[in-house]
Every structure is written in structure tokens, then in C-alpha cells.
Amino acid sequence: MSKIFVDTIEEKTSGNKIILNNNLKVDSIEPKTNSGSITINNPCFHVTKNADQSIADATVQVVTFESTTDGAENGVIINKGGLFANNKFTVTAATTGIYYFYTCLFTQSAGVLSDSYVYFRKNGTTQMQTQIGSFSFGSYTYNFQVYGNINLANAGDYVEVVIDCDQASSQALSVNYNANYYRTEFGGYKVR
């Protein structure tokens, strides 16, 4: 029986990278014997709303995600590491890296979609991936789907979902909550 005892496994800082392939054979990887344990830090989250949100015409507003407790909503909600809070995902020094983010927003309005769009915003200022809404079923119902990789290289970097609302006839845009379908969601996970 083979065992490997280590405190941490980290990426090499110089030279060739270590590549594990089918030639590496071990029976188990176990915590070191004196104290502590091996932790693989790969944060991920998937949150949703628990109330409708009205976005006034001619405004730019952060989308709120109230349902953020890991394991809530019958296990639908994921918030490993608790890095999603206050409507944004924020990295620590130990969790910096490149993340894949996605959001799907189900919205409704009493007016035609004029020039409303949804995007990821990094650190409160930088506009990242953007998407204009697509028409869905029913009158003035729109879906927004945005996704992509974002580099969160520094502790404290964060990402949030933002709507730039411009509706015909100065109508508000409602970001919809539905307990049975979770049709407004925001999630992400570390890829590197």
C-alpha cells in the first residue's frame, strides 16, 4: 500500500509543470499524521433570488441575490467557502485565480425592451461580458444569459451582476423570482 503525506500541494513557480498521468499509482492520499488535513481550495457558488426586484428605467443597478446559504432551497444553493455575500463574489488571498461565471435572468416589463443589457462588473467599475436580452414567451418577457472567464488576481477582487435599464415608455424592468423554477441565478467556479 502506498501513501503520500503532505502539508500542501502547490503549483511550481518555475521550470516545467508537474503532470500527473496514468503512470502515477497510489492507493490513498491521507492527512498528515501530526495535525491538520489536506484542503483542496476550489471555490464555487450558485445563488438565486427570493423576491422580485424592480429596476427603474434609465438606471444602472446591481442585481440582488438573497438566497445565498450553502445547502438552502433543498440543496439548490451552493456557496462553498462563503465567498458570495452582499450580492457579489469576492476572492481572498488564498482563492485568487481565473473563474468562470454565469448568470441567467428572467425579466418582465410593461414596455418593449429598448436598450437594456446585463453585464458582469469587476471591482465596481470594470464592465466585463455583456448581453442584450432575448425575447421569451409572453408579452415583454426577456431572458438575459451572460457567461465567461474573469481573472480575479488580487485579494478583494469581486464580481457582481449589473443591469443597465433602458425600457420603452420609461417602464421599469422586473427581475423575476419564482420559488419553483429558480429562473434568476448567478454562479461561478474557479478554473485555474
Assign domain 44-190 one CATH number from 1.10.300.10, 2.60.40.420, 3.40.47.10, 2.60.120.40: 2.60.120.40
Structural domain spans, the chain: 44-190
The predicted structure's pLDDT at residue 17: 46
The predicted structure's pLDDT at residue 22: 41
Report d(CA 10, CA 13) in Å as an integer: 9
| End-to-end alpha carbon distance in the chain | 32
The predicted structure's pLDDT at residue 91: 97
**One-character DSSP codes across 113-179:** B-S-EEEEEETTTEEEEEEE-EE-SSTTEEEEEEEEEEEE-STT-EEEEEEEE-BGGG--EEEP--T
Give the pLDDT confidence of 120-155 residue by residue, as tens digits. Answer: 999 999 998 888 777 665 667 788 899 999 999 999
Mean pLDDT to the nearest integer, 28-43: 61
Report d(CA 174, CA 184) in Å as an integer: 11
pLDDT over 60 at 65, yes or no? yes
**Pairwise pLDDT comparison (172 vs 83), residue with the higher score:** 83
Mean pLDDT to the nearest integer, 52-58: 93
Residue 47 β-bridge partners: 186
Q: What percent of the chain has pLDDT over 90?
A: 48
91 burial (CB, 10 Å; 0-12 / 13-18 / 19+) is buried
Mean pLDDT to the nearest integer, 85-114: 91
C-alpha distances in angstroms, 131 versus 29, 144, 162? Answer: 44, 7, 11
**Pairwise pLDDT comparison (180 vs 184), residue with the higher score:** 184
